[in-house]
Amino acid sequence: MSQRERFTGFPGKWQCLNRTISKHLSKYLVEKRMEGEIVVLETLLSLCLLLIGAKIGGEIAKRLNVAAVVGELLAGVLLAPTLFGGLVFFGTHLIVVNEAVHVLAELGAVLLLFLVGLETRFADFRKSGLLATLVAIGGVVVPFVLGYGLVIYWGYPAEEALLVGAALTATSIAITVKVLKDIGKMKTRESNVLISAAVIDDVLGLIVLAIVLGLVRSGSLDVTSIIWTAGVSIGFWLGMTLFGVFVVSKIINILCPRKNCQMYDAEGKPREPHKAGKHCTIRCNGTQEVSAIAMGFGFAYVAGMAGLAPILGAFAAGMSVAETKILNTIQEVTEKINFLMAPLFFVVTGTMVNLSGLTLDSLVFASILIVLAMLGKILGCGIPVYIMTRNAREAIIVGLGMMSRGEVGLIIAGIGATSGIFSNDVFSAVVLMVVVTTVITPIAMTQAYKLLNSHGKPKAKKAAI
């Protein structure tokens, strides 16, 4: 990204000069010391401001009944080095997205997908029926084709089009579930279809991402290489997931065999008794938790080395831990760590949007992309439901419920930005698409239930009278 380059370029160039000119060891050491300290201090200040900004944004969003992630993103946009973050204060920029901040944000994405994996049971995939599978496939294929087509039509390169298509396939399970809970529709047939389809959709979306990144790397777009890359990506991801779910989870359960046992705190004294099945005899506090998270990092590394996105590995690691007895412990700690890391990822992604670089043309492009993103899910998910059930009401609600992109869409946008595949225009359009669909979904679903329930709720009321 050009603005990251511009604002983090200074230490790099300085290092350059330093390395080539200064040959005196003592002088070199003094400068090295200064340099190390400056990086730590600028990271501390940037983290402080970005986190507080993210949380203020999140709070405002929540009070406006919008998902917190929207506020965190917008806070990032405002704090970008091209806007308020670029203000100079005591001779340094207020916010510097240096390598350390950038890696921390990436770790945030890895931990977030690890947590999503923790909440995903492998058995759910097998249980979810034909209808959910069809809805998920529709929700991947139609938005992908629409997004790819638009970007190609607008004259951007094919690799950008592929990644936009991948971003459009995502579905936010969390937001869909929240809406259904809020309006008390969790136990309906359409909600079952919605949730199963959203889970399958996220996995399909991640596989599409793996294929797209493989294609972008190999650089060729012919049919043979698409099939080859698809096969390798799906195969490797499936292999890693099955290994984790059926081998690693067993090993974890063997290492932590006892169902009801004692935890010790940092000072070595026994802690208050815990529920059965939650803990095993581990004398050093946090060992299970840290090992599980380290395993997430390890899986992410292996996925990255194999040419997949690291987040896919983290997701597989999370799904493996989801099959173990220590799930609750790990989930609790990961959630606490994600209090810090997830907003950091969203706010740093926000800082990559360069508002000052947007033109009228790019705004038009973003608007069309948003409309296609919503239409893609409504048609792609609604049509299979209508064909299978002949129930237009259910078809519309499922279609609307699948619209919101949430975290996975943003993570794909972030990959596009940090890898240099996305131009600023396309990146900003994708982020706007995620924000708008995330804001609109809860509103649209609530309205749809109100309008379409003329043969549901009112009847019940009449019966009550």
Of 247-266, which residues contact its own copies (CB under 8 A)? 264, 266
Interface with its own copies, residue 54, by CB under 8 A: yes
Our CB check for its own copies shows the closer of 294 and 451 to be: 294
What are the phi and psi torsion angles at 93 (to 5°)?
-65, 145
Q: What is the dihedral of CA 70, 205, 302, 217, to 10 degrees?
A: -100
Instruction: Candidates 57-65, 202-210, 242-250, 401-409: pick the segment binding its own copies (CB under 8 A).
Output: 57-65
Interactions with its own copies, residue window 61-100 (CB under 8 A): 61-63, 68, 90, 99-100
Query: Of 267, 359, 461, 465, which lies in the binding site for its own copies, with binding defined by CB under 8 A?
Result: 267
CA distance 60 to 257: 45
Is residue 27 involved in binding its own copies (CB under 8 A)? no
User: Based on CB atoms, which residue is closest to its own copies, 211 or 344?
Assistant: 344
From residue 212 to residue 251, the character string flagging contacts with its own copies as x (rule: CB under 8 A) and all else as - is ----------------------------------------
Does residue 20 touch its own copies according to CB under 8 A?
Answer: yes
Residues in contact with its own copies, counted by CB under 8 A, come to a total of 81
Other Cβ atoms closer than 10 A to 219: 8
DSSP string, 102-165: HHHHHHHHHHHHHHHHHT--HHHHHHS-HHHHHHHHHHHHHHHHHHHHHHHHTT--HHHHHHHH
Contact positions with its own copies (CB under 8 A) in 157-176: 174
Q: Smallest distance, Å, CB 254 to its own copies?
A: 16
Stretch that binds its own copies, among 60-68, 138-146, 382-390, 391-399 (CB under 8 A): 60-68
Residue 161 Cα to chain centre, angstroms: 19
Integer Cα distance of 157 and 161 in angstroms: 7
Q: Which residues are bridge partners to 270 per DSSP? A: 264
Distance (Å, rounded) from C-alpha 423 to C-alpha 436?
Answer: 20
The two most distant CA atoms of the chain are separated, in Å, by: 91
Among residues 14, 84, 122, 301, the one that binds its own copies under rule CB under 8 A: 301
**In whole angstroms, what is the distance from residue 421 CA to residue 83 CA?**
23
Q: From the list 141, 337, 358, 375, which residue makes contact with its own copies (rule: CB under 8 A)? A: 337
**Residue 183 touches its own copies, criterion: CB under 8 A:** no
Q: Where in 369-428 is the site for its own copies (CB under 8 A)?
A: 418-421
Min CB(138)–its own copies separation in Å: 26
Residue 181's identity, in one-letter code, is K
In Å, how far from its chain's centre is CA 396?
Answer: 26
DSSP letter (8 states) at residue 263 = B
Residue 446 sits in the site that holds its own copies (CB under 8 A): no
Taking the complex as a whole, the smallest distance from the CB of residue 145 to its own copies amounts, in Å, to 26
Nearer to its own copies, 51 or 452 (CB): 51
- Taking the complex as a whole, the smallest distance from the CB of residue 406 to its own copies amounts, in Å, to 12
Return the bridge partners of 89, or none: 92
Nearer to its own copies, 268 or 463 (CB): 268
Question: Which one, 197 or 295, has the nearer CB to its own copies?
Answer: 295
CB contact at 8 A, 76 and 345: no
The residue among 262 and 391 lying less far from its own copies, judged by its C-beta, is: 262
Which residues are CB-neighbours of 336 under 8 A, at least 6 positions away? none
Residue with tokens 């948003």: 370
Q: Which of 407, 406, 394 is nearest to 445 (CA)?
A: 394
Of residues 96 through 115, those in contact with its own copies by CB under 8 A are 99-100, 102-104, 106-107, 110
Give helix then strand counts, H and E, for the chain: 19, 2
- We find the least distance from the C-beta atom of residue 429 to its own copies, in angstroms, to be 19
Q: Which stretch binds its own copies (CB under 8 A): 249-257, 284-292, 393-401, 451-459?
A: 284-292
